[in-house]
C-alpha cells in the first residue's frame, strides 16, 4: 500500500524520500568519488573458473604428477619412442585446457547477456547499470521480481514485500518500510520502492555466502563423483602392483638397468586412466559450447547431467507453456454496471501500478487511463493474495476502492458469477474479476464483502513450440506436471490444447501431509491456484518419492520451487530472482530449447559411460599383468612404446570420437556399478589371455632377440582382444563407427607391415606358429568376452 514517508530515521547526509518528491540519489561527482575510493560492488563473476584455475586443474593432478616423473625417467634411460606416452599426455592436457577455456568464454559472454541490471537513481534520473557498477550509498529502485543485489536500508516503500527465504529460511514475505534493512540475495514479491546501498562488494551478505561455495560443486554430479571413486580404488591397486613390479624387474631378475626401468615404467603407465578425467571435462565443456550456441546459459556445468537424469518436469504455465503477453478478448459487466465507467476504472487501475504484470499490461493496452482519476492508495498484486487493489479520488471528488484478481478468491463459493467464470475457464481463457471493495485496503481482509462489477476475459498466447516439447518429454518417459497460480480449469484447458492429458486439480484442496500430497501428484497432471509455498512443497513431495525433479519458471512465485528442485530452469526474460537461483537459463525464452539440454546431458552421460569401460579395461589388465609378472618372476612383456600404440589405437582416438557422438539413451543411475561390471571381467580376460600368450612364447622362442618376439606375440593378442572390446563398446553401428573401428585395425596392420615402423615400435612377428597361436588365443578370449558380457548384462542389470 502506498505510504511515502520521509525516512526520519536515516542519516540526513544520505538521500531520503522527502514529502516534496522522491530522493534524487547520488550526483555524478559523488559516484566518481566512491569509485575512486573503491566503494564499488566489485564481486567477481562466478560464471566459470579463471584461466589460471583451468590450467592448474588440468595440469596439476595426481596422475599427471606420477606420469610426469616416469616420463622424465624414460627421457634419460630409453629411446624417444618409449617416451611417447608423455607427449600424448601433454597433448591431451592441452586439449582439455583449450576446450574448457572456450567453454569459459561462452559462459562469460552469455552471463553478460543474462546479467541483472538494477535501476539506480542518480542526478534525479533513473538509469540501468551493471550490478558491478553500483556504489556505496547508491539509491536502488526495486519492483516485483527484482533481486536485491546489495545490502541496504529502505528509503521509499510502496507496499514493498520482500522474500528473504533464500537467506533466512523464512518463507513468509516481509513487509518493508522506510528505515528497514534489506539483504542482498532476497527478492521483491510485491510492491516497489527504493533502498540506499549500505554494503557493497564482498561486504554484502549474499557475497559472503557465495564465497563459501564453489560454482563447480553446487550441483551433484554422479558422473564426476563416480569417476573419483573409481580413481581412488585404482590408486589403491596401483601402488602395491607397481612396487612389486619395481622389485621384480630391478632386483630379482637383475636385468640391464635401462631395460628394466623401461619395462617397469611400461607396466605402471597403463594402470593410470588419466584420459578418463580429461575426456569427461572435454565432454562437459563441448556440451556448454553447443548449448551456448542455442542461447542456453548453463550456470553450473553438472546441471547438463542433472537434467538428463530428470524423470519429472514441473512447468509453470505462464511464460513456459504460454508467452508472457496476453490480450483482452472480452469485458462482461455484472449487476447492470455501466461499461463506460468500468473501462475508466480499469484504465485507472492500470495506471496505478508502475510495474504491471502480464495481465495488467493487457488491460493497460486495452483501456488507456483518462487522467482525471488520482490514485490515493494502492495494494500491489501478490501471488499469495491473488489480487491487487487501489483507492481513487474520482474527478467529482468522490473516492472508490477497487480490487482486481482471481474470481474464485474474491467471490463467495455460491456467487453466480463463478458459473460464468467456469465456462470461460473451460475454453482456456483467463478471467479476472473487477470488484468494488466495501472495506479499506489497510483492513486485514480487504476483499471481504466486495461487490462484483465485471469480468475481464484474457486470452493467453500459447507458445508455438510448447506442444512439440511436451511430446518430446512424453516420448522420453519424462512426466510433465503443470503447476500454476491460475484457475485449475483454465490451466487444464490450456494443457489440453497442447496435448497434455490428465486431471486438473485445485491445489487448495491438496492434502498438506507430504506422502498424501505425493499420491495426489501422481494421479493428476495439472494443478491450479498453487501458492509459492505449495510449489515448493510439491517439489519436495515428488523428491520424497525418489523422483528427480526439474522446475521451470520465470516469475517471483517460482523462486522457492526453482531453488529446491534438482534442476531449476529459468527463462531469460524472467525475474532477476529466478535467473539467480536457476542452474539453467534459457536466454532465448524458448521452452523448445529444453530437449536440447536433455539431449546434451544424455550424450555426455551415455558416451562417458561407454568410454569409461575402455579406459578401465586397460587399468584392470595392466594391474593383473603386473601381479602375474611378479608371481612368475619374469620380465614385463611390454615396453612403454607398445602400450602407447595399443592405447592410442584401441582407446585414445576411438574414445574421443565416441565421447562426442550423438546418444539419446536415457541416463541411468549407478555409474560405477554399470562401468565396473564390464571392465573387471573384460580386463581379467584380456590380461589372462595376454599373459598366456607371453608364457607360450617364452617357451617357443630361444636365443638372441627372443624377448622382442615374445613381446610382439603378446602385443598381437592384447591388441586383438582390446579391439573386440572396442567392437562391443561401439555398438550400435553406424557408418562412421564401422569406419572408426576399421581404421584402427588398419593402422595396426600398417605398423606391422612397414619395416621402419616395426623397428620404431620394436614389433616383429617371428615365424608362423606363435603369431597364429596368439591370434587363436585372442579369438577364444574375444568369444568368451562376448558371452561373459551378455551374461553379466542379464544377471546383473542396473
Using one digit for the tens of pLDDT, what is the confidence trace for 468-511?
Answer: 888 888 888 889 999 887 778 888 888 888 888 777 888 888 88
Residues 6+ apart with CB under 8 A from 509: none
Residue 587 lies in a domain: no
- Of the residues 137, 158, 311, 316, which is catalytic? 316
Last residue of a domain, one of 422, 457, 492: 457
Residues 703 and 771 in one domain: yes
Last residue of a domain, one of 190, 216, 242: 216
- DSSP-derived secondary structure for 555-586: SGGGHHHHHHSSEEEEETTS-HHHHHH-SEEE
Residue 268 has pLDDT above 90, yes or no: no
Residues 206 and 248 in one domain: no
Last residue of a domain, one of 393, 423, 457: 457
For residue 705, the tally of other CB atoms under 10 A from its CB is 11
CB 480 within 8 A of CB 525: yes
Residue 44 has pLDDT above 60, yes or no: no
Q: Report the pLDDT value the prediction gives residue 414, as an integer from 0 to 100.
A: 82
> CA angle, 314 as apex, 312 and 320 as ends, to 5°?
130
CATH number, position 413: 3.40.1110.10
Cα–Cα dist 165/139, whole Å = 24
For residue 729, the tally of other CB atoms under 10 A from its CB is 23
Cα–Cα dist 558/531, whole Å = 9
Strand, coil or helix: 368: coil
Residue 253 lies in a domain: yes
Residues 133 and 94 in one domain: no
Residue 564 lies in a domain: no
Q: Is 564 an active-site residue?
A: no
At 21, the pLDDT band (50, 70, 90 cuts) reads low
Q: Model confidence over 74-133: pLDDT tens digits? A: 888 777 877 777 776 787 778 778 777 876 776 666 666 556 688 999 988 888 888 888
Residues 331 and 357 in one domain: yes
Residue 133 lies in a domain: yes
Q: Model confidence over 667-707: pLDDT tens digits? A: 777 788 888 888 999 999 999 999 999 999 999 988 777 88
Q: Report the pLDDT value the prediction gives residue 253, as an integer from 0 to 100.
A: 58
| For the chain, counts of helices (H) and of strands (E) | 28, 21
Residues 81 and 160 in one domain: no
Residues 365 and 224 in one domain: no
Q: Domain range spanning residue 780?
A: 51-103+219-288+598-795
Residue 499 lies in a domain: no
Residue 796 has pLDDT above 70, yes or no: no
Q: Model confidence over 319-357: pLDDT tens digits? A: 678 776 778 888 988 888 888 888 988 988 888 877 777
Residues 742 and 772 in one domain: yes
Residue 732 preceded by cis peptide, ω within 30? yes
Residues 375 and 453 in one domain: yes
Give the pairing of strands 139-142 and 187-199: antiparallel
Residue 628's H or E segment, with its range, is helix 594-632
Task: Indicate the burial class of 540 (C-beta count within 10 angstroms; 0-12, 13-18, 19 or more).
Answer: middle
Q: Model confidence over 511-555: pLDDT tens digits? A: 888 889 999 998 889 998 888 788 889 999 999 998 989 998 877
Cα–Cα dist 563/579, whole Å = 11
Residues 753 and 622 in one domain: yes
Q: Model confidence over 739-768: pLDDT tens digits? A: 999 999 999 999 999 999 999 998 888 889
Output phi, psi for 701, to 5 deg. -100, 140
CATH number, position 273: 1.20.1110.10
CB 287 within 8 A of CB 279: no
At 25, the pLDDT band (50, 70, 90 cuts) reads confident
> CA angle, 527 as apex, 525 and 530 as ends, to 5°?
150
Cα–Cα dist 733/269, whole Å = 31
Domain count, the chain: 3
Q: Model confidence over 636-671: pLDDT tens digits? A: 888 888 888 998 999 989 988 888 888 777 777 778
CB 471 within 8 A of CB 499: yes
Residues 209 and 252 in one domain: no
Residue 637 lies in a domain: yes
CATH number, position 172: 2.70.150.10
C-alpha cell at 791: 551374461
Residue 178 lies in a domain: yes
Residue 648 lies in a domain: yes
Residues 152 and 266 in one domain: no
What average pLDDT does the segment 562-569 reach?
A: 87
Q: Model confidence over 600-610: pLDDT tens digits? A: 888 888 888 88
- DSSP-derived secondary structure for 152-205: EEEEEEEEEEEE-HHHH---S-EE--TT-EE-BTBEEEEEEEEEEEEE-GGGSH
For residue 522, the tally of other CB atoms under 10 A from its CB is 14
Cα–Cα dist 193/140, whole Å = 9
Residues 609 and 740 in one domain: yes
Amino acid at each position: 500500500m502506498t505510504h511515502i514517508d520521509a525516512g526520519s530515521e536515516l542519516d540526513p547526509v544520505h538521500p531520503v524520500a522527502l514529502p516534496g518528491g522522491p530522493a534524487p540519489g547520488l550526483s555524478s561527482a559523488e559516484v566518481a568519488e566512491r569509485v575512486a575510493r573503491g566503494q564499488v560492488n566489485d564481486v567477481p563473476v562466478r560464471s566459470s573458473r579463471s584461466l589460471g584455475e583451468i590450467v592448474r586443474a588440468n595440469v596439476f593432478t595426481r596422475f599427471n604428477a606420477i606420469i610426469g616423473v616416469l616420463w622424465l625417467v624414460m627421457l634419460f634411460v630409453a629411446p624417444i619412442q618409449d617416451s611417447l606416452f608423455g607427449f600424448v599426455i601433454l597433448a591431451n592436457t592441452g586439449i582439455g585446457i583449450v576446450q574448457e577455456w572456450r567453454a569459459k568464454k561462452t559462459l562469460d559472454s552469455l552471463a553478460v547477456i543474462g546479467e541483472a541490471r538494477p535501476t539506480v537513481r542518480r542526478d534525479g534520473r533513473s538509469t540501468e547499470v551493471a550490478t558491478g557498477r553500483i556504489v556505496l550509498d547508491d539509491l536502488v529502485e526495486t519492483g516485483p521480481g527484482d533481486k536485491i543485489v546489495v545490502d541496504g536500508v529502505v528509503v521509499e516503500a510502496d507496499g514493498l514485500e520482500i522474500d528473504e527465504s533464500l537467506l533466512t529460511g523464512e518463507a513468509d514475505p516481509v513487509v518493508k518500510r522506510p528505515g528497514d534493512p534489506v539483504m542482498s540475495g532476497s527478492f521483491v514479491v510485491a510492491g516497489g520502492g527504493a533502498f540506499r546501498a549500505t554494503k557493497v562488494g564482498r561486504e554484502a551478505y549474499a557475497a559472503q555466502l557465495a564465497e563459501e561455495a564453489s560454482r563447480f560443486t553446487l550441483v551433484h554430479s554422479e558422473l564426476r563423483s563416480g569417476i573419483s571413486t573409481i580413481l581412488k580404488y585404482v590408486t589403491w591397486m596401483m601402488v602395491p602392483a607397481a612396487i612389486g613390479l619395481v622389485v621384480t624387474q630391478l632386483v630379482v631378475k637383475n636385468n640391464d638397468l635401462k631395460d628394466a626401468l623401461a619395462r617397469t615404467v611400461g607396466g605402471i603407465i597403463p594402470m593410470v586412466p588419466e584420459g578418463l578425467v580429461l575426456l569427461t571435462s572435454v565432454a562437459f565443456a563441448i556440451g556448454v559450447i553447443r548449448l551456448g550456441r542455442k542461447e542456453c546459459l548453463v550456470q553450473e556445468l553438472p546441471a547438463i547431467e542433472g537434467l538428463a537424469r530428470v524423470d519429472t518436469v514441473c512447468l509453470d504455465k505462464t511464460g513456459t507453456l504460454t508467452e508472457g503477453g496476453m490480450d483482452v478478448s472480452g469485458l462482461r459487466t455484472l449487476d447492470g454496471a455501466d461499461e463506460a465507467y468500468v473501462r475508466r476504472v480499469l484504465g485507472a487501475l492500470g495506471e496505478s501500478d508502475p510495474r504491471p504484470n502480464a495481465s495488467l499490461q493487457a488491460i493497460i493496452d486495452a483501456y488507456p487511463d483518462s487522467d482525471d482519476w488520482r490514485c490515493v492508495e494502492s495494494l500491489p498484486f501478490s501471488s499469495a493474495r491473488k489480487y491487487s487493489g487501489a483507492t481513487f479520488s474520482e474527478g467529482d471528488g468522490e473516492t472508490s476502492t477497487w480490487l482486481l484478481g482471481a474470481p474464485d478468491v474474491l467471490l463467495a463459493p455460491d456467487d453466480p458469477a463463478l458459473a460464468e467464470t467456469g465456462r470461460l475457464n473451460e475454453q482456456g481463457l483467463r478471467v479476472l474479476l473487477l470488484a468494488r471493495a466495501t472495506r479499506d485496503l489497510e483492513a486485514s481482509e480487504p476483499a471481504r464483502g466486495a461487490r462484483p462489477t465485471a469480468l475481464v476475459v484474457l486470452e493467453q498466447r500459447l507458445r508455438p513450440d510448447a506442444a512439440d516439447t511436451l511430446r518430446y518429454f512424453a516420448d522420453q518417459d519424462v512426466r510433465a506436471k503443470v503447476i500454476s497460480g491460475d484457475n485449475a480449469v483454465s490451466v487444464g484447458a490450456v494443457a489440453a490444447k497442447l496435448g497434455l492429458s490428465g486431471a486438473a486439480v485445485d491445489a487448495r484442496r491438496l492434502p498438506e501431509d507430504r506422502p498424501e500430497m505425493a499420491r495426489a501428484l501422481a494421479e493428476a497432471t495439472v494443478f491450479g491456484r498453487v501458492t509459492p509455498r505449495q510449489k515448493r512443497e510439491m517439489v519436495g513431495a515428488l523428491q520424497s518419492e525418489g523422483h528427480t525433479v526439474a522446475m521451470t519458471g520465470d516469475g517471483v512465485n517460482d523462486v522457492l520451487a526453482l531453488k529446491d528442485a534438482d534442476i531449476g530452469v529459468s527463462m531469460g526474460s524472467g525475474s532477476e530472482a529466478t535467473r539467480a537461483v536457476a542452474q539453467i537459463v534459457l536466454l532465448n525464452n524458448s521452452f523448445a530449447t529444453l530437449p536440447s539440454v536433455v539431449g546434451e546431458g544424455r550424450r555426455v552421460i551415455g558416451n562417458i559411460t561407454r568410454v569409461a569401460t575402455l579406459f578401465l579395461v586397460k587399468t584392470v589388465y595392466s594391474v593383473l599383468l603386473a601381479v602375474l609378472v611378479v608371481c612368475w618372476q619374469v620380465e614385463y612383456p611390454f615396453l612403454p612404446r607398445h602400450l602407447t600404440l595399443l592405447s592410442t589405437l584401441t582407446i585414445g582416438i576411438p574414445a574421443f570420437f565416441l565421447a562426442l557422438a550423438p546418444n539419446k539413451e536415457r541416463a541411468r543411475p549407478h555409474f560405477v556399478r554399470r562401468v565396473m561390471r564390464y571392465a573387471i571381467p573384460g580386463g581379467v580376460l584380456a590380461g589372462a589371455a595376454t599373459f598366456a600368450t607371453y608364457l607360450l612364447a617364452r617357451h617357443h622362442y630361444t636365443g638372441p632377440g627372443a624377448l622382442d618376439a615374445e613381446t610382439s606375440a603378446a602385443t598381437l593378442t592384447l591388441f586383438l582382444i582390446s579391439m573386440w572390446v572396442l567392437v562391443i563398446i561401439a555398438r550400435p553401428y553406424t557408418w562412421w563407427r564401422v569406419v572408426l573401428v576399421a581404421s584402427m585395425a588398419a593402422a595396426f596392420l600398417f605398423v606391422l607391415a612397414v619395416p621402419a615402423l616395426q623397428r620404431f615400435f620394436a614389433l616383429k612377428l617371428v615365424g608362423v606358429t606363435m603369431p597364429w597361436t596368439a591370434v587363436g588365443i585372442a579369438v577364444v578370449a574375444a568369444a568368451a568376452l562376448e558371452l561373459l558380457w551378455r551374461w553379466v548384462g542379464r544377471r546383473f542389470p542396473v
